Amino acid sequence: MRQDWFAQARFGMFVHFGLYSAAARHEWVQSYERLDDLDYRQYFEHFDPDLFDAAALARTAKRAGMGYVVLTTKHHDGFCLWDSALTDFTSVHAAGRDIVREYVDALRAEGLKVGLYHSLIDWHHPHFTVDWNHPRRDDENAHELNRGRDMAVYREYLHGQVRELLTEYGEIDYLFFDFTYPEAKDGWAGKGPEDWDAEGLLALCRELQPGMLVNDRLGIPGDFVTPEQYQPTSPLERDGVPVPWEACQTMNGSWGYHRDNTDQKSATLLAQMLVDSVSMDGNMLLNIGPDGRGAIAPRDAATLDEIGEWMRLHRAAVIGAGHAPFTPPREGVYTRRGDRLYLSLFTWPLGVVHLPGLADKVSYARLLNDGSWLRTSVSDPEQQADLMTPAGQAEGTLSVHLPVRRPDVLIPVVELTLTGE
C-alpha cells in the first residue's frame, strides 16, 4: 500500500519557507495586512536565503527521529521555491537558487522520504480571482478586480506547475495540497474542487507519481486526512474504514517564521502530542519556519534537539507503532508495535501504575529509557480498602511498580512484552 512507509514513519517535519519568512510576522501577512503586490514586492527584492542549508535541515530532521519532510514549494503568496518556467516569481529569479532541488537532493542523501506542499491558492497570479481570503478583498471596488480574471487560465498554470514538480525532481513520496474553502462569505465566493479541477489534478498526480501520497485538501478524498493544529481523540474512520491521518502542528501557532511570537510549545508537550497521535493510529507533522535568511530559528533547533534526544531512547514506542486495543490508565497513553505495548506516562504516579485488563497478558516490564526491569503484581480484588491499606484493583488489573524518582526524560515510557494469545 501507498501508505505503508507513512504509517511506519509516524513523525515528519513540515517546513514553511518563503518571502513571508523575511516579513517575519506570519505566512498570511499579505492577506492579514491587505498588502498589494507592490507592498509585498520588497520581500522579493531582498530575498536572501544565505543560511538555508538543505543538508543541515535534512540532518536535523533525521536526528529528531523524523522519517520524512514536507517543504512549501509555493505558499498562498504565489512565490515559488523552484525553477518554474511558468513564472518569474521564483527563488531562482530572486536569489539564483532552486531551493526545491537542493532540498530534494539533501533528503535523498539522508534516506528521508520527500514531501512537497503546494498551495492551490495564489494571490500573485493575475487570473486568480479575489475571494474572501484574498489580500485585495477590501480594495475600493474590489469586486471590479474580478472582471477579466479567468480561473481557467489560473487552473492551467496550477496544473502546469504541479506537472513540473512531479516530473523534474525525481520520485516524490508525498504531496500536500492546500486548501479548499467552498463556502461563500462576506459577499465573496469561496473556492471548491471545481476551481482546481481537483479530479484532473489528482489524476495527474496518479499518472506522474503513482506511488505518491496525496492529502485531502483538494476538496475530494485523498490518501490521508490532515487535522490542523488540533489532536483527534480517537482513531479516524470513514464509513467504518480506518483512515490514515496526520496532525500538522506548529511550534508556536504560526507556520511561517514569526519573530515576535512567544507561544512556543515545550518539547514535552510536542512529544506528548506525537505519542498521542500514534496512540490513535495517526502521524504528526511538526512544522518549523526557517527565518528570513533560511536558518532554523535557535528556539526551534533547541526544541528539535530535545525531542531528538527523547526519540533516541524511545523511538520504538513511535516508529512502526500504532493504536493498542486496551484502555490506558489515567496517567498516559498506549502505543503498540508487534508484541510490545508502550505506556507513555504523561504524569508520574506514586509508586505504582495500575493497568486494567492486563493481568495475564504481560510477560516482562521495563523502563524504556534505561532498560531497567520493573516488578509487576496482581492484587486481590477481594481485599477491602480501609484507611491504611489500598483497595484491591478490579479483577484482571496488572500493577507495575515504579521508582519514586521519575526518569529525567521528556516522557517516561514503560515497555511491556505481551504474551502470545
CB atoms near residue 377 (< 10 Å): 12
Judge contact between 361 and 418, C-beta under 8 A. yes
- 34 or 312: CB nearest ligand GLC: 34
- 29 or 341: CB nearest ligand GLC: 29
- 248 or 355: CB nearest ligand GLC: 248
Closest contact distance (angstroms) between CB of 179 and ligand GLC is: 4
Closest contact distance (angstroms) between CB of 225 and ligand GLC is: 12
Binding mask 181-220 for ligand GLC (x = CB under 6 A): ----------------------------------------
Interface with ligand GLC, residue 174, by CB under 6 A: no
Judge contact between 31 and 238, C-beta under 8 A. no
Interface with ligand GLC, residue 228, by CB under 6 A: yes
C-alpha cell at 408: 529525567
Strands 282-288 and 11-15: parallel
The interaxial angle of helices 298-314 and 54-63, nearest 10 deg, is 40
Closest contact distance (angstroms) between CB of 109 and ligand GLC is: 26
Binding mask 128-167 for ligand GLC (x = CB under 6 A): ----------------------------------------
Binding mask 273-312 for ligand GLC (x = CB under 6 A): ----------------------------------------
Instruction: For the segment 20-39, give every residue that binds ligand GLC (CB under 6 A).
Output: 27-28
Closest CA to 310 of 346, 345, 340, 268: 268
User: Sheet holding 340-345: strands in order across?
Assistant: 332-337, 340-345, 413-418, 362-367
> Which amino acid is residue 133, in one-letter code?
N
Among 157, 255, 257, 342, binds ligand GLC (CB under 6 A): 255
Burial of 208 (0-12, 13-18, 19+ CB in 10 A): middle
Closest contact distance (angstroms) between CB of 203 and ligand GLC is: 23
- 135 or 412: CB nearest ligand GLC: 135
Query: Where is 189: in which H helix or E strand?
Result: none
400: left (phi over 0), alpha (psi -120 to 50) or beta: beta
Instruction: For the segment 318-347, give every residue that binds ligand GLC (CB under 6 A).
Output: none
User: What is the rounded CA–CA span in Å between residue 116 and residue 260?
Assistant: 27
Closest contact distance (angstroms) between CB of 76 and ligand GLC is: 6
Closest contact distance (angstroms) between CB of 226 and ligand GLC is: 6
User: What is the rounded CA–CA span in Å between residue 360 and residue 342?
Assistant: 16
Burial of 120 (0-12, 13-18, 19+ CB in 10 A): buried
Instruction: For the segment 64-103, give every residue that binds ligand GLC (CB under 6 A).
Output: none
Closest contact distance (angstroms) between CB of 307 and ligand GLC is: 20
Among 19, 212, 248, 409, binds ligand GLC (CB under 6 A): 248
Interface with ligand GLC, residue 179, by CB under 6 A: yes
- 286 or 410: CB nearest ligand GLC: 286
Among 178, 197, 291, 306, binds ligand GLC (CB under 6 A): 178
- 248 or 398: CB nearest ligand GLC: 248
Closest CA to 326 of 273, 376, 381, 398: 398
User: What is the rounded CA–CA span in Å between residue 276 and residue 332?
Assistant: 9
Interface positions with ligand GLC (CB under 6 A): 16, 27-28, 178-179, 228, 248, 255
